[in-house]
Amino acid sequence: MPTLRLGSVAPNFQAETTHGTIDFHQWLGGQWAILFSHPDDFTPVCTTELGEVARLKPEFDKRGVKVIGLSANDIASHDRWIKDINELSGSQVQFPIIGDKDRKVATEYDMLDALDATNVDAKGMPFTVRTVFVIDPKGIIRLMLSYPASTGRHFQEILRVIDSLQMGDKHRITTPVNWQKGDKVIIHPSVQGDDVKRLFPDAEIVKPYLRFTKAPAEA
């Protein structure tokens, strides 16, 4: 199995989800998407994460980003778990969750923990790592993050990265350290010569390789 990297095409798969059977590439439908995984249903950290994603779904919708989760259990278990998530979060899980009891998708996406006696389930199968993939409209993986079991993911950070990626794809800019929406951005190194002032009239040239500009108005 080839190693997935930034810039890899997201592998296709067919799977059962809480919204029915999907073909992943068809489900993507040429939109931005996030795929995020969980090792098990009814686990404390994951329960809080899914509740937060349910709460933030309008923010993902605003950005044209589809959301799909994955957990290493069957759909009947997911359906029971969703009731707890809805109750505890005060939100409604409106996105699909993949049933990956046999770890087929987790294996395809290299989301399995290292195999040793400390991180296997009762059947001796390795746990699924809590991973996030951001996938662009061309089906290209643009972000990969893996988290330890003890630490909840920060989905505001994931939204921040999506904002940066979407703006950069449209406007030939990158974003500096600790960037937040509305802050100044960096003019992409590929923009040179007369194009700098033509494309970015308010360019602030700090160094030849470091040029700031205001964030595009629609970002």
Q: Which positions are catalytic?
A: 46
Contact 63, 32 (CB under 8 A): yes
> In this structure, is the dihedral angle defined by the CA atoms of residues 142, 162, 157 and 147, taken in order, positive or negative?
negative
Angle of helix 44-62 relative to helix 155-171, nearest 10 degrees, comes to: 30
Report d(CA 181, CA 193) in Å as an integer. 27
Contact 27, 66 (CB under 8 A): yes
Strands 210-213, 130-135: pairing is unpaired
